Amino acid sequence: MRVRFLLDENVPPLLARGMHRRERAIDVICVGSAGAPAHGTHDPDLLRFLEQDGRALVTFNRRMMNTHLRAHLEQGRHTWGMFRIDSSTRVSVIVESLVLIWSASEADEWVDRAEDIPW
C-alpha cells in the first residue's frame, strides 16, 4: 500500500498541488478539506485520525508535535509516519522528497517513525 498523506493546517495547500502536479495518483488531503479534520483540531485528536485513516502527517510543527507523538506512542497507539519539515525548506524540495517517499516505499515502512525533511 502506498503512503497516504495529511498536510496539517500550517502546511500551505500549494504543497498538495505541487505533489499532484508531479504525480496525480498521490493521496494527499489537507486539514480543513473534505474528509480531513477541521482547522483547529487538537494535535492528539489529529494523531488519532491519522492512525485510523492510515495517513502519514506532514507538519512544520516540529516541537509540539514531537511531544504529542511521544504521548500517543506511550499510550500503545501507532502512526503511519510523520514527516517534520524545516520551515526554511523550499517547496520544491519538500515536494520532491514526498513524491520520492510515495514512489519508493510502502506505507508500512513508516509506521511509528518520525523523519525530518530535508534529511
Q: What is the pTM of this model?
A: 0.95
- Hunting for cell 504525480 — which residue is that? 23
For cell 502527517, the residue is: 57
DSSP H helices, 75-118, are 91-104
CATH topology of domain 5-117: Rossmann fold (3.40.50)
d(CA 41, CA 73): 19
Could you read off the pLDDT tens digit of each residue along the chain, which spans 119 residues?
999 999 999 999 899 999 999 999 999 999 999 999 999 999 999 999 999 999 999 999 888 899 999 999 999 999 999 999 998 999 999 999 999 999 999 999 999 999 999 87
